[in-house]
Amino acid sequence: MKRLLAAVLAALTLFSLAACGEQAPEEPAPPVQEEISPAGPPLSTEPEPPADPVEELLGRMTLEEKVGQVFFVRCPAENAVEDVRSYHLGGYILFGRDTKDKTANELIQAIQRYQDNAAIPLLIGVDEEGGTVVRVSSNPHLRSERFASPQRLYDLGGMERIAADAGEKDVLLKALGFNVNLAPVADVSTGPNDFIYARSFGRDGAATAEYVSTVTAQMAADGMGSVLKHFPGYGDNEDTHTGIAVDKRPYEDFVNGDFLPFSAGFESGGDTTAVLVSHNIVECIDAELPASLSPNVHRILREELGFDGVVMTDDLAMEAVSAYAGDGAVAVMALEAGNDLVLTTDYRTQIPKVIKAVENGDLDVAVIDTACRRVLRWKQALRLLEGPV
């Protein structure tokens, strides 16, 4: 009886505690063990991305060096070695005067002297189109016969012969020290009386596109820089070396014909291909300015054709463009229009004018940076920047 009473009293006590909001004590939770982490931040397993050599190089260049790099100039008859250093030139283009009567060894040694004096390896270019424009094979010391024209090659053996010929040119030019051939001619011309006809493939846009694709693909495989010329297409215009040519054709003609070989070359040549812009005034694109100085021509190249490589002028010393800059700073106009490389004989005058325009705020330094970056990318694609620079 006493045991029953004690049990009842215990139950009543628990009931009254619960009713008052008090709870019976709980058993303590087991202690939480803290994880001990190693000192310092966790080690990353991702490798560091390699530094971009072009951006590193661009970042440590002076304004004078950047401006010099965007000039691809005619090799002067005098002080060529000294000018490489003093003007920080991007490259030399050699003409018949520079190769005439030279032996292969003499030409190799001359080009090597230019390279030895360059802080950044030079573009060394030449016009070796075949046919009427042959700066190297016109010298019998360098080749026993001249390279044939595109039309002649095609008649002899079709596209296979054209590809083989492009390969032969690349082997010879590279052995002599050249890394850029200002070829192929991508102009569409079907009229034997046209100024550009003898230098062209002589067929319509589609056939010329196949020719250009064949040549640029071979040149890319050989590591030789190619230059498609003369954008937006020469057509049946007059020679701009001696005056202004005005192209009155409708824009549809360019879209359906002239642009086709350029687009084909951009695709097959990849990052080893550049494009040269003519001095023709193309009324349907820009009725006021030569193509080489026209922002709209360059907009079409970039936006409509999607080309992101190097764009260069034809020689700015030609009479077709010399009058367009009132103060003589035609190279400033060319860079503002969207060119990356200025081709000129008159670089000793034009380079200081470009530097002055940047320093005065008349030309945005970003324009120079963009152009110089593209030039360095082209040199990188041609394997010119592989050593320390």
Confidence (pLDDT) at 324: 86
- The reported pLDDT for the residue numbered 5 is 35
168, 148 contact by CB (below 8 A): no
Q: Which of 241, 308, 327, 364 is catalytic?
A: 241
The band of 57, judged by pLDDT with boundaries at 50, 70 and 90, is very high
Active site residue 88: no
In 117-258, where does DSSP find H-type helix? 150-176, 205-221, 251-253
Question: Sorting pLDDT into bands at 50, 70 and 90, what band is 144?
Answer: very high
Percent of the chain with pLDDT over 70: 85
The secondary element (H helix, E strand) that includes residue 243 is none
pLDDT average, residue stretch 140-150? 98
Q: pLDDT category, 243, cuts 50, 70, 90?
A: low
CA distances, 8 to each of 13, 121, 158, 186 (Å):
9, 104, 116, 111
- Mean pLDDT of all residues belonging to the chain: 89
Confidence of residue 11 (pLDDT cuts 50, 70, 90): very low
State mean pLDDT over 2-16: 37
Is 236 strand, coil or helix?
coil
- Mean pLDDT is lowest, of 21-30, 117-126, 161-170, 370-379, for 21-30
Q: What are phi and psi of 140, to 5 degrees?
A: -65, -15
Q: What phi and psi values does residue 246 have, to the nearest 5 degrees? A: -115, 120
Q: What pLDDT, in 10s, does the model give residues 103-143?
A: 999 999 999 999 999 999 999 999 999 999 999 999 999 99
Angstrom distances, CA of residue 376 to CA of 77, 120, 180, 343, 373: 26, 9, 14, 16, 5
Confidence of residue 326 (pLDDT cuts 50, 70, 90): confident
Say what the pLDDT of residue 242 is.
59
pLDDT at 353 over 90: yes
Q: How confident is the model at residue 4 (pLDDT cuts 50, 70, 90)?
A: very low
State the pLDDT confidence band at 241, using cuts at 50, 70 and 90.
Answer: low
Residue, of 38 and 344, whose pLDDT is higher: 344
Closest CA to 76 of 112, 129, 114, 116: 114
Q: Annotated catalytic residue: which of 194, 314, 340, 346?
A: 314
Pairing of strands 311-313, 273-277: parallel
Instruction: Give the pLDDT confidence score for residue 319 in this predicted structure.
Output: 73
Active site residue 314: yes
